C-alpha cells in the first residue's frame, strides 16, 4: 500500500495526547524539570504557531511556540521540538523548525528564542546566542540559549528573565 507523504499542519486541540506521548518518549519525567518547561507552565503555547507532522493519520513530529516577554519586549520561545524516534534522521525536525520560524515571521514575531544545540539550530535560522542579559527562569548553559531575530535589531539591548505570557484569547 502506498502511503501519502508526511505533511505539516497547525496543531489542533485534539493533538495534545499524541504530543504528550512524544514528549514522554523523548524526555520522560525529566521534561518537567527543564527550564523551558517552567516558561511553558506560565502560559499556554500559541496553537496558531505550533505545528505537527502527520503521516498516515499518525502524529510523528511536533514543535510549539509559546508567547514570552523578555523585559518589556515580546517574542516567542520555541520548544519542545519532538520527532518520533522511528522517523528520526529524515529531516522532519529541521522542516518543523523552518516552518515554525517562517510562520512566526509572517505573524510579526520580533524574535524567537530556544534552548538547544547550536550545531543543529544554527543553520535553521538561529545563528547567534541570545544576549547575556537574557535569562531563563532556571539554570541553562548560555551557549545553548539561541535567538532568531525576525525584526531587525530585535535582540539589541534585550534583557530580563524570560516569562511566559497569556494572550487575550487564551
Ligand X SMILES: CC(C)(COP(=O)(O)OP(=O)(O)OC[C@H]1O[C@@H](n2cnc3c(N)ncnc32)[C@H](O)[C@@H]1OP(=O)(O)O)[C@@H](O)C(=O)NCCC(=O)NCCS
Contact residues for ligand X, defined by CB under 6 A: 26, 79-83, 88-94, 116-117, 119-120
CA 55 to chain centre: 21
Pick 65 or 83: Cβ nearer ligand X: 83
CA 43 to chain centre: 14
Pick 89 or 108: Cβ nearer ligand X: 89
Pick 69 or 90: Cβ nearer ligand X: 90
Contacts 24+ apart (CB under 8 A), 62-66: 62/11, 62/15, 62/18, 62/19, 62/22, 62/96, 63/96, 63/97, 63/99, 63/100, 64/11, 64/19, 64/40, 65/100, 65/104, 65/109, 65/112, 66/39, 66/40, 66/164
Q: At closest approach, how far in Å is the CB of 157 from ligand X?
A: 27
Q: At closest approach, how far in Å is the CB of 74 from ligand X?
A: 22
Q: At closest approach, how far in Å is the CB of 124 from ligand X?
A: 9
Pick 83 or 130: Cβ nearer ligand X: 83
Q: At closest approach, how far in Å is the CB of 46 from ligand X?
A: 17
In the complex, residue closest to ligand X by CB: 93
Amino acid at each position: 500500500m502506498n502511503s501519502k507523504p508526511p505533511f505539516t499542519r497547525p496543531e489542533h486541540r485534539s493533538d495534545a495526547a499524541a504530543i504528550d506521548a512524544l514528549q514522554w518518549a523523548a524526555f520522560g519525567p525529566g521534561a518537567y524539570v527543564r527550564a523551558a518547561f517552567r516558561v511553558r507552565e506560565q502560559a499556554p503555547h500559541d496553537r496558531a504557531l505550533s505545528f505537527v507532522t502527520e503521516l498516515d493519520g499518525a502524529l510523528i513530529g511536533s514543535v510549539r511556540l509559546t508567547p514570552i516577554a523578555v523585559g518589556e519586549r515580546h517574542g516567542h520561545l520555541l520548544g519542545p521540538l519532538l520527532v518520533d524516534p522511528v522517523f528520526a534522521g529524515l529531516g522532519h525536525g529541521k522542516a518543523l523548525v523552518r516552518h515554525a520560524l517562517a510562520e512566526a515571521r509572517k505573524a510579526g514575531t520580533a524574535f524567537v528564542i530556544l534552548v538547544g544545540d547550536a550545531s543543529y539550530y544554527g543553520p535553521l535560522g538561529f545563528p547567534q546566542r541570545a544576549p547575556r542579559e537574557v535569562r531563563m527562569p532556571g539554570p541553562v548553559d548560555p551557549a545553548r540559549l539561541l535567538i532568531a531575530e525576525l525584526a531587525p535589531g530585535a535582540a539589541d539591548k534585550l534583557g530580563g528573565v524570560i516569562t511566559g505570557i497569556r494572550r487575550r484569547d487564551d
